[in-house]
Structure 1
Amino acid sequence: MPFQTSSEPARATWPTGLDSIAYGGDYNPEQWPEEVWHEDVRLMREAGVNLVSVGIFSWALLEPREGEHDFGWLDRLLDLLHDNGIRVDLGTPTASPPAWFFAAHPDARVVTRDGTVLGFGSRGMASPSHPAYRAAAVGIADALARRYGRHPAVALWHVHNEYGAPVSDDYSPASATAFRAWLQDRYGTLDTLNAAWGTTFWGQRYGEWAHVDVPALAPSVVNPAQRLDFARFTDHALRACFVAERDAIRAHSDVPVTTNFMTTNCPSTDLWAWAAEVDVVSNDHYLTAADRRGHVDLALAADLTRSLAGGKPWILMEHSTSAVNWQPRNVAKRAGETTRNALSHLGRGADAILFFQWRASRSGAEKFHSAMLPHAGTSSRVWREVRTLGADLGRLAEVQGSTVRADVAILWDWVSFWAQDLEWRPSVDLDHRERVLAYYDRLWRDGLTVDLVHPTADLSAYRLVVAPASYLLTAAAGDHLAAYVADGGTLVVSYFSGIVDEHDAVHPGGYGAPLRTALGLTVEEFLPLREGDTLAVAWDHDGVRTELAADVWADDLALEGADVVATYVDGPAAGLPAITRNRHGAGTGWYVSTRLGVDGLAPVLRAAYADAGLAPSGLPDEVEVVRRHGAVADYVVAVNHADQPVEIPADGTELLTGTAVSGSYKVPAGGVAVVREARRG
């Protein structure tokens, strides 16, 4: 079921009526008596809240029976918020259809890969491919837009909630029908489909379109090309739902439309395609409590969101004031952590800092989730920090609209990740997310600001491009990377990259063939390690020999012009090249054929930095400093995650305290700073 991208003229790309950093969160007043609403609004004003998200899970109240609408409570709520100067991000409630919908359309329920039919009583949408769901979702979106499309409180439309979570792929009959239609549009003929999927293997060739089904569980591994196309189809089906609701809203409102992405935590959506469909990019991010350095993953998510936004300001639609409720161990944030998290997002381009949720719920599955107004009330530490953060963001109003520039890009491709994560890869330890985060963490510690980019994106602005996990890389993308190097760029590629084409077929010419020109080599054989095995790499640089610890993987390389800069000391590739550097045109291509940890990557990337004309910041590991560039000034945003103060270079005025800064500024342990400096070019 193809859909058309809107060809309308450019629309507003920021919530209307906001002239400062947006601050607030999800507001679910329907969970409370109306007399509580007035207390909520009073406390919102006290905390500096100026934007709230409303109605995201309210379908059963807005349409209690099919075709019957009750807008009275929402009328009163929007009027109350407007009267108090609080802007509204109005949601369409289509992530959670009401009980009457499933009673009327039981065949619209999602079916899992093993054939389980998912029931009602939780959250999560119906089958995105079911016509009745599509019609009902568009119907409620249209009704809301007709009524509130020009309401003075509405600053933004918020379609659905976290597409792809908690379910994405659906194996129901409706999905199978839609999948066949999608394949026919993509391939045209069965001969083309059979060729793309390599169906001569294991006798899978199709002679009728009706015989093509969803890739449900089978006696053995299902055709990986079919699995990859089903992932593409799933993304398309979800996005088509968004576009249908968005267009229903646009027929009645000129207010911008968004949906909340989950950039690093919802792998079923190709957000490069989604970003083109929203008027403003927004993201939800929650710390992983088990990760003691979760602030690095936070920075990665923020940089990825900014990259999806094309460098424009973006919305942090949800994060938490303290613990969440859905992880195995829900660790509370410590004093100051909420502010550090918020300022890290802001430093990396967010002009809106919102939470889930405003008032903690007394009932339901998320009653133990933290909130801006917690169960402990206004006497709590969390509430005091919420008020302080609101005041701080008010002092930073002038930062709004400034942008971030990066010298380094990391390749990020959801389609490649989908392909790499399928079964029967050479090692279960091939983890694309782990490799991306390892390289990103090294860059983060070295103080380099990073954009995330698709392999086919324009790379000319970047001195250094890193490819930590590019398993699926088309021949055209390989040519693009080779041209980037030839033009003077520096490229660093990790192992298991450039292996397959867009159909998950090994490239003609062998492993790494698309990267042969840029790297001056191919891979003759994979040499994965047994569980727990390690090896050493001898790194010789500037006359100094260092042994780097590695594990998981080695390659047997066939060099075609690359220089050896490190060799394997032991393991299955003992004595063979481990790390290479290839001169191509005016630039260089580096290949790292094993898994080095964050510390092991330090000398390798320092050498690549030298090629790229870059250098580490020299700041301690646990301080992050990002510069935002404005029309009349620049802003140095510093977040100190360490337990001791740190000096950062700066000249100007620290905006949170009003302190004049000359040469350097001491950021307290666990503290933050935003220094206005003279504008750079």
Structure 2
Amino acid sequence: MRKAGFMPDVIAYGGDWNPEQWPEETWEQDVALMREAGVNRVSVGIFSWSLLEPVEGVFDFDWFDRVMDLLAANGIGANLATPTASPPPWFGEAYPEALPVDADGRRLYHGSRQGFCPSSPIYREKALRIAEQVATRYRDHPALVMWHVHNEYGCHNARCYCDTSAAAFRAWLRTHHSSLDALNEAWGTAFWSQRYSDWSQILPPRATPSFTNPGQQLDFRRFSSDALVELYIAERDLLKRLAPGVPATTNLMAGAHWDMDCWAFAAELDVVSTDHYLIGARPEPHIDLAFAADYARSLNGGRPWLLMEHSTSAVNWQPRNLAKTPGELRRNALTHLARGADGIMFFQWRASRAGAEKWHSAMLPHAGTGTKIWREVRALGAELGELGHVAGSTVTADVAILIDHASVWAQDHPAQPVAGLDPVEEAKRWHAALWRAGVTSDLAHPEGDLTGYRLVLVPALYLVSDSGAANLADFVRRGGVALVGPYSGIVDEHDRVRLGGYPGAWRDLLGVSVEEFFPLERPIRLSSGATGSVWSEVAHVAGAKVLDAYATGEPAWTRNEWGEGAAHYLTTRFDDESFAEVVATVCAEAGVEPAAEAGPGVEVVRRSHPGGRSYLFAINHTEEDAVVKTPAGEAVTVRAGDARVIPV
């Protein structure tokens, strides 16, 4: 089933176009070059509020009419943005009370972007007014393909601590806790004399002399995420009322930005779109890219999704902004395509001459068309034009990795047993082990539908609700295989410890009871020869079989039969080579196989049309030629640094 926002047999290709940054005489040249590069989609208007409404209540759309008409005349579709991510200077001057405030009480002023408090009624009023102007004017325009609502919600203002936010937080708490007594119980306010006797006493977790209350911090993160979702819904509903039938989305930053609940956002989108940028400090950033792409696909329920932004080469915001090597642009784009994207777009079309992102790469670089970037942009556009038949196909994964923003937020509290067990990095590490094994995986919410998976991985899921805990147990009972990592199932949804021995939520499922955590200062040797690092536990089996142990005899890896399936448990962080063996063991037990046989560093993913054609994407990230053996036994050579799309 296709989601709205895509054209049959077409891969959307293009990027953010910001014509307002350039003299109008360049616009015709831009569009001609777009056609030459195979561009069929651009995002426009994202940061145009100060030009569309230069003075409060005074609107100027004449110049933007010419932009939209130019796109329509050249057959280029528009993801038309509501420009609400960056209020104009007049907004901050007229309404300083609507500007964001940080946890230290500093008011943040205009001069960058996202300069507003998400809970401000003034901001919402002005944002809806400009959105209404845009929608009313362009709802029937032939260039309009999709609404691009706002831009990267919460990227810089995910949480505001002002008095307006405090009042909104208290209102949110009243709807999520049945009484003040219930809130006090949930937050454990008997500790440190924090018990509230009136709702008015509750504040956001502003700067305090010591640790803030964990329950308060967790609920404030939930409230702040919900406030951003509510802003999106308000704009989306207005657009749907004025332009029914036009799909709406906003660009998430799945896999990279954890300040808002992507599961909650995705449920409100007509089609999931996301942005992804390589982190140069990572030794294998293409694997991190694969994680983000798999997350975006999972957020869209396995259906095709849209890559709204990535870079042609270097970005501008990292300590060392690495340029992409020859062929890397193509490999990155095809990885997203392989993992379910039906649109490949960049930030931005033409590299800026001025402003904070002038050193961010673009499809048309500062040096013009006689460049590596331009040649690769043109070649990619031609290739995607020939791959239109892939559009609409989907990726089926036999493995799911459980991930939950609330658990990440709870574990982010500084008062933890150890600082080196980062839940996001653990999820990425487990995903990377599957990647190296040629196994494609989804990400799933702990309370989501696990039907259809053979294997479920649970890395460092510190917080889980009762229903989430039961969901995994039911999956195993029905015949599934689970692998649970250390520091999982420890607290309930309010960040309260589950008593009686860890891992409280899954003690029976795993057949293990842990009496104490022992964070490690240095790696230790296990009986198998593997090493464990960062973390260990004093555990006792209660029905489980020990597969590996510490020198002291306590279990490091266990397996417990549960119903028709089995649940494995790790009490330490295995070294990479040994962990790969653990993953291979549970994959074999669950009947999970790679998409194809390939050597190290070669990425293999399969997309399929229901009951129809399938395509094996083979992407060689190494400097040596590689041979990929398809499921049919065909040996296909993929040259060093190259990629192939093989019908299977």
Asked if these proteins are the same fold (TM beyond 0.5), I'd say: yes
Q: Distance in 1 between matches of 2:115 and 2:92?
A: 11
| Residue in structure 1 matched with residue 623 of structure 2 by the alignment | 643
| Residue in structure 2 matched with residue 61 of structure 1 by the alignment | 51
Which stretch of the first structure deviates more once superposed, 594-603 or 583-592?
594-603
SS in 2 for 1:379: coil
| Residue in structure 1 matched with residue 171 of structure 2 by the alignment | 181
| Residue in structure 2 matched with residue 538 of structure 1 by the alignment | 527
| Residue in structure 2 matched with residue 513 of structure 1 by the alignment | 504
Q: Distance in 2 between matches of 1:514 and 1:70?
A: 58
| Residue in structure 1 matched with residue 467 of structure 2 by the alignment | 476
CA contact (8 A) 1:109 1:118 kept: yes
| Residue in structure 1 matched with residue 569 of structure 2 by the alignment | 591
How far residue 625 of structure 1 moved from its aligned partner, in angstroms, is 0.8
Across the aligned residues of Structure 1 and Structure 2, the Cα RMSD in angstroms comes to 1.4
| Residue in structure 1 matched with residue 34 of structure 2 by the alignment | 44
Summarize deviations over 1:564-607 as a string: whole Å, max 9, x none: 110113xxxx3211111111111111001111232220121222
Q: Distance in 2 between matches of 1:22 and 1:474?
A: 39
Mapped pair 1:194 → 2:184: yes
CA contact (8 A) 2:14 2:39 kept: yes
**TM-score, scaled relative to structure 2:** 0.98
Letter of the 1:643 partner, please give it: E
CA contact (8 A) 1:26 1:357 kept: yes
SS in 2 for 1:312: coil
SS in 1 for 2:514: strand
| Residue in structure 2 matched with residue 492 of structure 1 by the alignment | 483
Q: Distance in 2 between matches of 1:305 and 1:230?
A: 25
How far residue 615 of structure 1 moved from its aligned partner, in angstroms, is 4.1
SS in 2 for 1:590: strand
| Residue in structure 2 matched with residue 544 of structure 1 by the alignment | none
CA contact (8 A) 1:17 1:87 kept: no
**TM-score, scaled relative to structure 1:** 0.93
Please point out which of 302, 313, 320 is paired with 1:322.
Answer: 313
Summarize deviations over 1:113-143 as a string: whole Å, max 9, x none: 1111111111124001011001111111111
Mapped pair 1:152 → 2:142: yes
Please point out which of 89, 103, 113 is paired with 2:93.
Answer: 103
SS in 2 for 1:579: strand
Any residues of structure 2 matched to 1:216-255 within 5 Å, and which?
A: 216-253=206-243, 254-255=245-246
CA contact (8 A) 1:588 1:611 kept: no
How far residue 622 of structure 1 moved from its aligned partner, in angstroms, is 0.4
Unmatched runs of 5 consecutive residues or more in structure 2: none
Mapped pair 1:619 → 2:609: no
Q: Distance in 2 between matches of 1:61 and 1:667?
A: 49
How far residue 189 of structure 1 moved from its aligned partner, in angstroms, is 1.7
Summarize deviations over 1:325-358 as a string: whole Å, max 9, x none: 0000000000000000000000000000000000
Q: Distance in 1 between matches of 2:490 and 2:94?
A: 48
Q: Distance in 2 between matches of 1:232 and 1:421?
A: 13
Unmatched runs of 5 consecutive residues or more in structure 1: 1-9, 540-546, 653-661
Q: Distance in 2 between matches of 1:371 and 1:480?
A: 45
How far residue 618 of structure 1 moved from its aligned partner, in angstroms, is 4.3
Letter of the 2:149 partner, please give it: V
| Residue in structure 2 matched with residue 668 of structure 1 by the alignment | 639
Change (3 A) 1:487 1:217: same
Summarize deviations over 1:151-195 as a string: whole Å, max 9, x none: 110001001111110221100111001001101111132111111
Q: Distance in 1 between matches of 2:205 and 2:95?
A: 24
Q: Distance in 1 between matches of 2:631 and 2:573?
A: 40
Q: Distance in 1 between matches of 2:320 and 2:220?
A: 34
Identity %: 52
| Residue in structure 2 matched with residue 23 of structure 1 by the alignment | 13
| Residue in structure 2 matched with residue 84 of structure 1 by the alignment | 74
How far residue 292 of structure 1 moved from its aligned partner, in angstroms, is 2.4
Q: Distance in 2 between matches of 1:57 and 1:19?
A: 31
Q: Distance in 2 between matches of 1:463 and 1:281?
A: 25
| Residue in structure 2 matched with residue 554 of structure 1 by the alignment | 536
Q: Distance in 1 between matches of 2:222 and 2:326?
A: 43
| Residue in structure 1 matched with residue 258 of structure 2 by the alignment | 267
| Residue in structure 1 matched with residue 548 of structure 2 by the alignment | 566
Any residues of structure 2 matched to 1:576-587 within 5 Å, and which?
A: 576-587=554-565
How far residue 16 of structure 1 moved from its aligned partner, in angstroms, is 5.8
Summarize deviations over 1:300-340 as a string: whole Å, max 9, x none: 00000000000110000000000000000000000000000
| Residue in structure 1 matched with residue 613 of structure 2 by the alignment | 633
SS in 2 for 1:164: coil
Letter of the 1:447 partner, please give it: G
CA contact (8 A) 2:109 2:115 kept: no
CA contact (8 A) 2:8 2:391 kept: no
Which stretch of the first structure deviates more once superposed, 515-524 or 320-329?
515-524
The count of corresponding residues between Structure 1 and Structure 2 is 645
How far residue 610 of structure 1 moved from its aligned partner, in angstroms, is 2.4
How far residue 19 of structure 1 moved from its aligned partner, in angstroms, is 4.3
| Residue in structure 2 matched with residue 374 of structure 1 by the alignment | 365
Q: Distance in 2 between matches of 1:226 and 1:332?
A: 42
